Structure 1
Amino acid sequence: MKRFILLVYILLSAIVLKAQIPGALDLSFGNFGKTLLDWNGDLNRADAIKFTADGGMVVCGTNGYLGENNSCLLAKFTSNGLLDESFGTNGIVQFGYGGETSYANDLIIQSEGRILVAGISAEAGNVSIGLARFTSSGEPDNTFGFSGKLIVNIGEYETANTIVSLSNNKFAITGSIDSPATNLDMLVMRFLSNGSTDVSFGTNGYISLDLNNSSTDMPRGMIFHNNKFTIASYAFKQATDAVALVRLNADGSLDTGFGVGGKSVIDGFKIMDMIAETGSQMAFDYQGRIVVSGQFLGLAGTDPMLLRFLSNGYPDNSFGDFGMAVYQITGDNALQALAIQADGKIVAAGSSNSSNRNTFIMRVLDNGDLDPTFGMGDGYSVHQLGQGSSNIDGAKAMLIQNNNKAVLAGYADTQNNSWDFCISRYYLGVVTGGGNEATYENLNAFIDPVYKNRITITGEHIINKMQSISLLNAAGQICHTWNGSQINYSGNNIILNLNRAPEPGVYLLQLSGQNILASAKLICF
């Protein structure tokens, strides 16, 4: 009977470990891996997520259906996905910038935990930049703008799609601006800490730029690094989309050492009537290379697309095909969120639309290939997070927590077929810094039949450069860690000693070293 119970326990433990493979939903987060937040039964969509100093997460987005008098939502969650009810009113702040319709597109965390949201304010046909700042507890920050809010109107059409922090609590936004000569140009505008325009930047505090000879420009990503702005944008012209990167100096002038005259435009993707479209999410890896995500639209459907550029703005030919990788995956798939792991692997997420539209997450190796250790060996996984009959959900933003888990923010439908804010968390597996790690999969681990407190690991090409090995139980808790000289080698075997024999069950050994990642399952009877 005891042996039967043990076998059942081992089977259940193995299922738990299987659920912890990279790309799997972390069921310990929120409500079985996800948290849905409804507001007034309307359509609610989260567009941005950021960490707070206490380890929590703040999410912003929009409440209301397209064409209605939309408002903005700001919500705070704990590190484990629960609504932080000490923030705002029961964890939520609803607000508008002052116009008829308000949209929240992005946010940053400033000093003293202040939360600054950027987006769009629309009224009577005019579209303007909307800004609002809140204290760390969710109250309006009256030191900013007018009672914590500000509408910035340059002409008839300006948007704020992305916001970045600068020194001294200054900040900058990027978006689109109407241009009489073209369609929409790229806009970058800099502000002082109180919301006033910083007139020392560009011309009267902003710059506008046509990216691809009278193209319609819609920037989505901006990073301020090494005292320069790098912006990624979608640039549409004559039925052909383009990926455009721009680098600006701190004063708003073009950095002519980047790309061609400060710009790098990849267009002309018209091959057999296929056009490239980009969501223009952007991230820097540990080598300063620039990764941009989007989708490739063709006759067969929409495929995820990643591009990588060198730090000088030129395509990185070591990635995919001449710097671009398109992933032909069943259904229509779009990438709208992007992050880089500490080991340099690229994690991207969005939506997958086969029979239903569901949340999609994928991981890519340094050369642009899908990572076979992610998901069920395919390099990606698809998750149905919605609860309504329409089965619609997707990701719009991503964070990587320090426990090697990815948190996605987006939307999911509910039983009344409206959309809710949705945050969800996924396992990434063992991640160490430095990049270019080799992964060893064919490893075996067993308890010595004589010395029950001794573990032997054997397998392919074990190199004696392991820096750390951890033993985890089925719940993911670390039971023991060996470092440096505590790790013993015998030929191609690793010998690990414990103070006593481990309890019966299924365990996971995680090994890391110089350019090495590995794992092995251990069963103890």
Structure 2
Amino acid sequence: MKYMLLPILIFASYLNLYAQPAGSLDPSFGNGGKVVTSLNSGAEVAQGVALQADQKIVVAGYASSTVTGKDFFCARYKTNGSLDSTFGTNGIVTVDIQLGSDDIAYDLAIQLDGKIVLGGSSDNGTKKDAALLRLNTDGSIDATFGTGGKVTTVFESNQTDEIRVVKVHHLTGNIVVGGSSLVSTNISKPVVARYLSNGTLDVSFNATGIKLLWVTNLDYQYLFSVEDLVVQSNGKISAVGWRDFPTFSSDDDFWACRINTDGTMDNTFSTDGVALYNGSFNGADNAYSMLLKSNGNILIAGKSEVNNVVDDFILFEVDASGTVGSWSATVNFGNLYDDAAYGLAEDQDGKFVLAGSSSNGFGSDKSFAIARINSNASIDNSFGTNGQVTTSFGSNTVSESFDMLVQADNKIVAVGYTGNDIALARYLGNGVPQLDSFNLVSPADLAIEQRSDTLNFDWTDAFGATSYTMEMDTLNTFATAQTYNSISSLSSLEVTNLQPVMTYYWRVKSSDGSTTSQWSDVWEFTTKDEFDSVVKLFEVAFDIYPNPTSDVLNIEIPQSLEGKSYLIVDDLGKVIQEGLFKNSSEQVSLKGFPSGMYHLYINGVLGRSFVKK
């Protein structure tokens, strides 16, 4: 068995400026992205979640009854978060495994035929046994499984047993579970067991169907638990969990193993099939979830104690031989907060989503906590705030998520409890454009005395927009509008050469490249009268020559008037020529002009009169 120090890389997070990023609660699910289900007045907790082929959400855990004690519960929700009335009774099934026993389901798995397997424990008051339950697709108990749809197992005589994780090997239909067998309050054995599809133990696995994972002669000193596992197509089983030395407080280690399909240890993983990993602080390190990559590497998620005060989310990678690598990430939801990641999934973009809880360090205030990690182990700042999201439910001060999944549309479902009730939340994995979610800012509606030479137009960002179009007109019908297309997502525009003492109307719409919003509200503004200042400027800095002239008129203007428009008008008011000043010195050709008096206007203001000979 290898024991390795885990290198922890802590990545800085930066403020995400995206208006409504991925990580927002999904408004199409439940009440603003949240669902709370209450069965009885007692404690109810969702421990596991799975997704059916039709995208319905199946949740398992326990519910409390004053008559039967704690019972397995299973609920099925439609894609909108409402309970599915075609399942059980109004979408809910509760089962007392043994008469009056305290029964807790920690996980569930869905078979290819749609049947649902729940795993946990059943305590009849004398002893606690590992327990399985299988339901048909309509929520009825599957009588072909075990005895009346139920299986209880003694992993080892006279010990307290429980199942923490359930998986189905779809090629064989076998059911593989992991958990623990408690010898005493300070000693337990990690366990992996395999059942045939009818619920009987598979004796081709370690001769009994049960593998007790005390591997070294020192394991008798510790508490162990298997928290998650993956069954490969070839039948090998990779599992993760934790080892605790109860003599010392905060002395837990990440634990992992790999078992051959016949139940023997796979000695190509570490030297004996088992490996231990220690976080940077050498404190309480617990693994709760895992992913098996296509190259055989294992991603392990959980919590790691970073000092004597707090724990953080952790995600790290070990290779197929059990050796820890440099790929790792931690997520800190607050400097004095205890954070634990219980669920892990890879999304459709190859990013890794962690779900669990974050508390204020005293346990009196807990919330759902979700984080997303990029494939290079950096924090995904496009998700929530600095890659993090926390969710509370109403006035409840304590809420925790114990499992999660990622849907095919990249939405994230997290399940757990709030107060005494079952709680679900669904988050957007991708930002959903809301192209109408912007407002005009300036010039303000009905603003007066606006500059005509240069005027800035501003509006707020539309969520998901990549460009904007602005229209401006002196008519409120926009029949003769000037259109400014493909404005960058900076949501502002500078316009020059407006007419003085003129009322203008303007509006904006946004686009994400494929869809365009409606036009915004129409705002209006009026430019100010700049006649006096322009005339004074002309008097000191504006000149034309020669006057009278023959074929060419030279015009000298100050640099501030470059880019302004000019008109040459005859004595009858007819516009003979128009253009823009590109430089401070311009020559205007008068060839073809009849002899007579002409008038030069700059930016709509009379500047000089001259005679054409």
| TM-score of the pair, normalised by structure 1 | 0.75
Q: CA deviation at 1:168?
A: 3.2
**Pairing partner for 1:336 from 326, 338, 342:** 342
Task: State yes or no: 1:394 paired with 2:397.
Answer: no
Q: What is aligned with 1:327?
A: 332
**Pairing partner for 1:220 from 220, 227, 232:** 227
Q: CA deviation at 1:18?
A: 6.7
Residues 448 and 256 of structure 1: CA distance in aligned 2, closer, same or farther (over 3 Å): farther
Specify the SS of the correspondent of 1:86: coil
Q: Deviations over 1:300-324 (max 9, x none)?
A: 322222222223321121334xxxx
Q: Deviations over 1:36-95 (max 9, x none)?
A: 1101111100001111122201110011299x9211111000122110011100111010
Question: What is the alpha-carbon distance in structure 2 between the residues aligned to residue 328 and residue 92 of structure 1?
Answer: 34
Superposition map of 1:334-413 within 5 A: 334-354=340-360, 356-376=365-385, 378-385=386-393, 387-388=394-395, 390-413=396-419
8 A Cα contact 1:52 1:109, kept in partner: yes
Q: Deviations over 1:276-327 (max 9, x none)?
A: 321421123465432222112332322222222223321121334xxxx463
Q: CA deviation at 1:328?
A: 6.4
Residues 509 and 345 of structure 1: CA distance in aligned 2, closer, same or farther (over 3 Å): farther
Question: What is the alpha-carbon distance in structure 2 between the residues aligned to residue 507 and residue 352 of structure 1?
Answer: 38
Superposition map of 1:257-296 within 5 A: 257-267=268-278, 269=279, 271=281, 275-285=283-293, 288-296=296-304
Q: What is aligned with 2:175?
A: 171
Q: Deviations over 1:383-426 (max 9, x none)?
A: 112x34x421121111111111101111112xxxxx11111100
Q: Deviations over 1:425-466 (max 9, x none)?
A: 0011169xxxxxxxxx9995234979989868789xxxxxxx
Q: What is aligned with 1:242?
A: 253
Unaligned regions of 5+ residues in structure 1, if any? 1-16, 414-418, 432-440, 460-502, 511-519
Question: What is the alpha-carbon distance in structure 2 between the residues aligned to residue 115 and residue 442 of structure 1?
Answer: 39
Which residue identity lines up with residue 301 of structure 1 in the other structure? V
Q: What is aligned with 2:104?
A: 103
Q: What is aligned with 1:117?
A: 118
Residues 444 and 58 of structure 1: CA distance in aligned 2, closer, same or farther (over 3 Å): closer
Task: State yes or no: 1:301 paired with 2:301.
Answer: no
Specify the SS of the correspondent of 2:69: coil
Q: CA deviation at 1:246?
A: 0.4
Select the structure of larger CA radius of gyration.
Answer: 2
Question: What is the alpha-carbon distance in structure 1 between the residues aligned to residue 464 and residue 81 of structure 2?
Answer: 35
Specify the SS of the correspondent of 1:158: strand
8 A Cα contact 1:444 1:521, kept in partner: no
8 A Cα contact 2:71 2:95, kept in partner: yes
Question: What is the alpha-carbon distance in structure 2 between the residues aligned to residue 211 and residue 261 of structure 1?
Answer: 8
Superposition map of 1:9-88 within 5 A: 20-64=20-64, 69-88=69-88
Which residue identity lines up with residue 319 of structure 2 in the other structure? L
Q: What is aligned with 1:142?
A: 143
Q: What is aligned with 1:233?
A: 241
Q: CA deviation at 1:504?
A: 7.0
Which residue identity lines up with residue 77 of structure 1 in the other structure? Y
Question: What is the alpha-carbon distance in structure 2 between the residues aligned to residue 94 and residue 61 of structure 1?
Answer: 10
Q: CA deviation at 1:364?
A: 1.2
Q: Deviations over 1:216-265 (max 9, x none)?
A: 11110010124210000111124321111101111111111122322221
**Pairing partner for 1:204 from 208, 212, 223:** 208
Residues 255 and 34 of structure 1: CA distance in aligned 2, closer, same or farther (over 3 Å): same
8 A Cα contact 1:20 1:427, kept in partner: no
Unaligned regions of 5+ residues in structure 2, if any? 1-16, 433-462, 472-480, 491-506, 521-613
Which residue identity lines up with residue 163 of structure 1 in the other structure? V
| TM-score of the pair, normalised by structure 2 | 0.65
Question: What is the alpha-carbon distance in structure 1 between the residues aligned to residue 350 and residue 275 of structure 2?
Answer: 23
State how many pairs are aligned: 433
Specify the SS of the correspondent of 1:160: strand
Q: CA deviation at 1:124?
A: 3.0
Specify the SS of the correspondent of 2:113: helix
8 A Cα contact 1:334 1:351, kept in partner: yes
Question: What is the alpha-carbon distance in structure 1 between the residues aligned to residue 353 and residue 215 of structure 2?
Answer: 28
What percentage of residue pairs aligned between the two structures are identical?
Answer: 26
Larger deviation, residues 210-219 vs 301-310: 210-219
Larger deviation, residues 83-92 vs 220-229: 220-229
Residues 270 and 361 of structure 1: CA distance in aligned 2, closer, same or farther (over 3 Å): closer
Specify the SS of the correspondent of 2:172: helix
Q: What is aligned with 1:485?
A: none
Question: What is the alpha-carbon distance in structure 2 between the residues aligned to residue 329 and residue 509 of structure 1?
Answer: 38
Question: What is the alpha-carbon distance in structure 2 between the residues aligned to residue 357 and residue 367 of structure 1?
Answer: 29
Question: What is the alpha-carbon distance in structure 1 between the residues aligned to residue 280 and residue 324 of structure 2?
Answer: 18
Task: State yes or no: 1:195 paired with 2:195.
Answer: no
